[in-house]
Amino acid sequence: MADAESLKREAGIAACKYVKNGMKLGLGTGSTVKYTIIEIGRMVDEEGLEITGVPTSEATRVLAESVNIPLVEISQVESLDLTIDGADEFDGDFSLIKGGGGALTREKIVANLSKSMIVVADESKKVDVLGGFKLPIEADPLHSDSVIEEINGFCPGEVRIRASGQKNSSGNQPYITDNGGYIIDCEFGPSITNPTDLEKTISDINGVVEVGLFVGICDAVILASSSGVEILVNPDGRLN
């Protein structure tokens, strides 16, 4: 039986079967999709693959540049052929929680520009009901307190600003996204049975930039499990 990291690598590479010459690709963020990016870089260098990538985070930009993938900014494209990204959770309806790495806003912009989206993940991310992973929300720092107050009205668990791990004389400093926002992590528990409605409720709160619920976007999941790599295709998705 392969170890967990080897399976992640295998799943990340398997996603590259969907990558075709001439594509404009959204390049995601995460511990599994990094192997996709490394493999695409190999295909560019060794097989002459011609693609253009749009990174979803600064970390992804650095990795993609290190393996010689040509990149453009989000603002330079009107649409993308495919996005390959990770997820913190996905359910049987192919709804996702994303944002554990703090890049949810760029990730959603890129996903929504794409004709299709593939997620690479390990089996720990597959759940019956979303919410075991804290739901990330990006908020304007100037409105973060009021956003937390409103979400506390319907979130059953703790709602708090993500810390960066860095301290100064005032204590722990907030994590700052690539867009200059705060991440608010919300402990809903495995209770998000209607992610569409919850996403709208949170999005309507003044000061919310983006919600880490991705609904109706994911077309397939390439899943690394203890028994190997499996491709789960959304029957209602765009790859059929």
Helix (H) or strand (E) holding 58: helix 58-66
Contact (CB, 8 A) for 108 and 95: no
Phi and psi for 150 in degrees, rounded to 5?
-70, -45
Query: Which of 5, 50, 78, 107 is labelled catalytic?
Result: 107
Of residues 193, 240, 191, the one with CA closest to residue 215? 193
What residue has token string 């760029």?
A: 106
User: Residues 31, 87: contact at Cβ < 8 Å?
Assistant: no
Q: What angle do CA 162, 165, 169 make, to 5 degrees?
A: 105
Please state, in angstroms and rounded to a whole number, the distance separating the CA atoms of residues 30 and 222: 14
b/e string for 97-110 if b means 16 or more Cβ within 10 A? Answer: bbbbbbbbbbbbbb
User: Distance between the two ends of the chain, CA-based, in angstroms?
Assistant: 31
Output DSSP code: residue 172: E
The CA dihedral of 4, 6, 11, 17, to the nearest 10 degrees, is 180
Q: Is 5 among the residues known to form the active site?
A: no
- Which residues carry out catalysis? 107
